[in-house]
Amino acid sequence: MTLHLNKPKPIAMQSARKTDLRSQFGALVYRVHKDRTQVLMITSRQTRRWIIPKGWPMSGLTPAEAAAQEAWEEAGVKGVAHYAPIGLYTYSKEIKTRGGKMMMPVMVTVYPLEATKVADKFPERGERRRKWMRPKKAAAMVREPELAQILRKFDARHLR
């Protein structure tokens, strides 16, 4: 049996309270080098921890397209995004409020993105580091347990 996925429709933006669970879309950027899967990890701007490119929904873009846009802005990667997500993970994002700071719960839907071009110049070049690594090494370097599990199980050769 073959599963056929239609291209999802672009999403419409909705407003939410800061305490509501929010959605982001992430790109698990990958390449196959010498028959081995590698993933591209980047550092966050504030804490410098290792993460995948991710961001908020974008009006007029599908979730996979929004993830691909984040991969460009944050990591300088253009590529082919898969429309089927490979997993979800959660984290808490610190945000500033009038009274100080608070933690906002965020759920990230992860889309694999095969890198076809890696640019030297991209929008957030001066704010982040990026590094290709094996998925198991990447899993050991992230703080989010659910993201670590997605990374440990990821093998790009199974996507082809």
**Cα–Cα distance for residue pair 154/86, rounded to 1 Å:** 9
Lookup result for tokens 């694999």: 112
Q: What residues make up the domain containing 58?
A: 27-158
81 occurs within a structural domain: yes
103 occurs within a structural domain: yes
2 occurs within a structural domain: no
Beta-strand pair 54-55/22-33:
antiparallel
4 occurs within a structural domain: no
Comparing 83 with 158, the larger pLDDT belongs to 83
7 occurs within a structural domain: no
Residue 115: CB partners within 8 Å, gap ≥ 6? 29, 30, 31, 40, 77, 78, 79
**What CATH number is associated with residue 117?**
3.90.79.10
Lookup result for tokens 């073959």: 2
Cα-based angle 61, 157, 84 (whole degrees, multiple of 5): 25
Mean pLDDT on 2-31: 71
Range scoring the smallest mean pLDDT among 70-74, 102-106, 113-117: 102-106
Q: Does residue 2 register a pLDDT over 80?
A: no
Mean pLDDT on 41-46: 94
48 occurs within a structural domain: yes
127 occurs within a structural domain: yes
pLDDT value, residue 13: 46
Domain count, the chain: 1
Comparing 97 with 128, the larger pLDDT belongs to 128
Residue 110: CB partners within 8 Å, gap ≥ 6? 26, 27, 28, 52, 67, 85, 86, 87, 88, 89, 147, 150
The reported pTM is 0.86
pLDDT value, residue 3: 47
Q: pLDDT band for position 1 (50/70/90)?
A: very low
The predicted-structure confidence for 46-70, as pLDDT tens digits, reads as follows 889 999 999 999 999 999 999 999 9
Q: Does residue 87 register a pLDDT over 90?
A: yes
Mean pLDDT on 111-129: 96
In DSSP terms, which residues pair with 105 in a beta bridge?
92
Mean pLDDT on 94-110: 91
